[in-house]
Amino acid sequence: MQNETHPITVKKFLSTFNIIHLALVAGVFVFGLMVYMQTKEQELILSYSGDVIFFVVPFMAIAGIVVGNFLYAKNIKKLDSKTTLLEKLNGFQAASIIRYALLEGPALLGIVAFMNDGNQYFLIISLILLAWLIAQRPTRDKVERELKLEGRLKTEFQKDDKPLV
């Protein structure tokens, strides 16, 4: 039995990356939906009742967005020195996954906080983070724009089925 390896192409890269993104989005969405449906006592309370989690969840949400964007920009900047499309795409994927994780974590924290006390305030924060995560979906145009692909690399990126080396 031979172990066949299929070369990575732009089309396969984008497809795989979109599946990773969709799995992260679906995980947050499904967990949130299950918790929402299981939580009997729910209400929207926008006033502080003495529980520090009231401030921790929005702080973590804002920190996740800010730190995620900072690290993403820093890692994307490092890709300017890379010479091959495969190196740039792998770096883009790594930078994006870090950004996604820094959105997913606070979103899950908000869902758990909602599960513990039924305050829809936490769920709303999680929904905002989920919407922001969905907006980060890796499209062909976004990858090309973020990596500032030009010349040979742009031409190579537009050839869907050409193996990347």
| 4: pLDDT strictly greater than 80 | no
Residue 60 near residue 102, CB atoms below 8 Å:
no
Question: pTM higher than 0.85 for the full model?
Answer: yes
Q: 46-66 as b/e, with b when 16 or more CB fall inside 10 Å?
A: eeeeeeebbeebbebbeebbe
Task: Report CA 49 to chain centroid distance, whole Å.
Answer: 32
CA distance 100 to 133: 6
Task: Considering only residues 146 and 164, tell me which one the structure prediction assigns the higher pLDDT.
Answer: 146
Query: What pLDDT, on the 0 to 100 scale, is given for residue 162?
Result: 82
- Percent of the chain scoring above 70 in pLDDT: 96
Residue 31, classified by CB atoms within 10 Å of its CB into exposed (0-12), middle (13-18) or buried (19+), is: middle
pLDDT at residue 131 is higher than 90: yes
Tell me the per-residue pLDDT of 30-55, one tens digit each, with 9 for 90 and over: 999 999 999 999 999 998 888 999 99
